[in-house]
Amino acid sequence: MIGILKGMATTMKHALDGKTFTVEYPETAPEVSPRFRGVHKYSQERCIWCRQCENVCPNDTIQIVQDDQRNGEQYNLHVGQCIYCRLCEEVCPTDAIVLTQNFEFVGDTKDDLAYNKEELKNVPWYKDIDPLESREPDRGSWVGEGEGEVDYQ
């Protein structure tokens, strides 16, 4: 009984203190945690086609295509399969992948969210994400920050 009363007191305290923890999305954009992991950006300019991201991805979200000389030909991203674990970003030796804080995208089917590197440049919700602005702020391993244009898809 005392436990129930304590629980009710806590509930009433929070109900009456005027604080809200929800927002009316999409009219109001929620503030996500600095460590939030959203869709990732890929840079062909930085990629050395080592395939580590493809190998580490637990969900076949990334597919790297190479020719018979092991030259990189294509980078396919199946965003609908991503579980935002960030393993690809951590393993990438050149920071060619960076998870951003963007989560606002939709598709009718999972296949609607599969793109190659050329298509990524034209996806409306993807192409305008600035990876430098939207990356996790406390990352210190950024390569080449502030040194000119960064070509991310």
The site for ligand SF4 (CB under 6 A) is made up of 47-53, 56-59, 61-62, 64, 82-88, 91-94, 96-97
The residue (of 50 and 114) whose beta carbon lies closer to ligand SF4 is 50
Secondary structure (H, E, C), 49-116? CCCHHHHHCCCCCEEEEECCCCCEEEEEEEHHHCCCCCHHHHHCCCCCEEEECCCCCCCCCHHHHEEE
Least CB distance to ligand SF4 at residue 8 (A):
42
Residues recorded for the chain: 153
CB of residue 80 vs ligand SF4: minimum separation in angstroms?
Answer: 11
Closer of 10 and 82 to ligand SF4 (Cβ)? 82
CB nearer ligand SF4, residue 8 or residue 83: 83
Find residue 100's DSSP bridge partners.
Answer: 135
Amino acid at 150: V
Minimum separation from the CB atom of position 77 to ligand SF4 (A): 7
